[in-house]
Amino acid sequence: MGSNPQNSLRVPKFLTEGFRYFFLAGPLYGMLAIGIWLLWLGTQATGATPELFAATHVSYQWHAHEMIFGYGAAVMAGFFLTAVPSWTGTEPARERFITSVALLWLMGRVAVTFSPEFPASLVMVIDTLFIPVLGVKILLNLLKRPKPQNMMFLGILAVMTVANVMVHLEWIGFWDDGAAAGNRMGLLTLAALIAVLGGRVTPAFTRNALMRNGVEHGLPRTQTVFDRLGMASALLLPIIYPFAPALITGTIALVAGLANLMRLAGWKSTAILDQPIVWSLHLGFLFLALGYLMLTAYQFGVGIGETQALHVIAIGAVGVMTLAIMTRASLGHTGRTLVVARPIAFAYLLVAAAALTRSLGPEIFTTHYTLVMMVSGCLWITAFAIFAAIYMPILTTHRTDRSA
């Protein structure tokens, strides 16, 4: 029997839907990037001169950039390519677009990591194109059913693009402090996305879970004043943080921390401790509020280092929340029951432990910095290795019969 020519032209299943590719590629790259970072730290600790990074940027800048604009942007893309068509009732992106934007993201990772092989301006163009291309696609979907609460995400994508450009402006020799400012802006933009989206889905999913268990009273409640303050301050912070005086940034971070903590307080966190797929969202949001408050303490000079605060946000808030969203969305959009395997619940805790180790470890074990970094990095890699092992079959195969 001859082969069907149509079958031979089919793209792999993981390129047929946005969440499939980016929820797989993002975590795999996140593991690789942390592995490279640990290799650099280990080499440096031996007294040798690491040669793993380009002369155009230093190691910690690459590390921060790739976790924010590599891993973080990938998960963000997977979410938007899946959620926006659902919000607007439009057709999801086709395989050709997904394949193209997937290659563009991958080209950015290669260009940044091997930047000595290319002109710096070309690296900048390749790497910064990904989010605008994604934004145009999202815009076309949102215009079908424009709502202010959804259109605002275009602004978030714009700020992420500006932040990435700022990093590259230093790498091409145009702006001395562009990388530090851009990486901070990018991270805090991801945090703002959690404040907005996490603030939507966490109480909603918690309410649904409790109602499925027969709970009719004492459901999660939202408080408009704290919702508005929490989101507005979180959205403002990345724009002003690299440039404004400490008093202003500290005050805005304080509002963001307290307001988002008050939001979380109304979401009945203790009622869903038996459901990891739900409490993981609460845990990520708790890290978000804690990170903002630690950033406040840093800005006001109250004994907290900026690196400590930023890693609570980066690993704790972004890491836990993205893992929680990926595990849930992958199950839901492939027709599976919304119950995570026990190892995934353990993976949530591993990422939380990585955040605490990276943030607090250097202060406790002052003479063992490299060891602390290794432990934190290995906790992260283990968590996402668990995710990859369990979810790769889910993301690369057809929907279940239950969804047919």
Reported as a single tens digit per residue, the pLDDT across 376-396 is 999 999 999 999 999 999 999
What pLDDT is stored for residue 60 in this prediction? 86
- Is residue 25 included in any domain, yes or no? yes
Size of the chain, expressed as the number of residues it contains: 404
Write out the two tokens for 402. 């239950």
Three-state DSSP state, 366: coil
- Is residue 382 included in any domain, yes or no? yes
- Alpha carbon distance 34, 378 (integer Å): 8
Write out the two tokens for 126. 């390749």
Supply φ then ψ for residue 380, to 5 degrees: -60, -50
Q: Which residues of the chain have pLDDT under 70?
A: 1-9, 49-58, 401-404
Write out the two tokens for 209. 């879970």
CB burial of residue 107 (10 Å; 0-12, 13-18, 19+): middle
DSSP 218: S
- Is residue 4 included in any domain, yes or no? no
C-alpha 139: how far from chain center: 21
- Is residue 3 included in any domain, yes or no? no
- Alpha carbon distance 362, 372 (integer Å): 7
In total, how many domains does the chain have?
1
- Residues whose CB is less than 8 angstroms from the CB of residue 337 and which lie 6 or more positions away in sequence, other chains included: 331, 402
- Is the CB of residue 26 less than 8 Å from the CB of residue 107? no
User: For the residues of 252-273, what is the DSSP string, one character each?
Assistant: HHHHHHHHHHHHHHTS-GGGGT
- Full residue range of the structural domain in which residue 46 is found: 11-403
- Alpha carbon distance 191, 291 (integer Å): 9
- Is residue 5 included in any domain, yes or no? no
Reported as a single tens digit per residue, the pLDDT across 116-168 is 888 999 999 999 999 999 999 999 999 988 888 899 999 999 999 999 999 99
- Is residue 109 included in any domain, yes or no? yes
Which CATH number characterizes residue 44's domain? 1.20.210.10
Three-state DSSP state, 2: coil
- Is residue 306 included in any domain, yes or no? yes
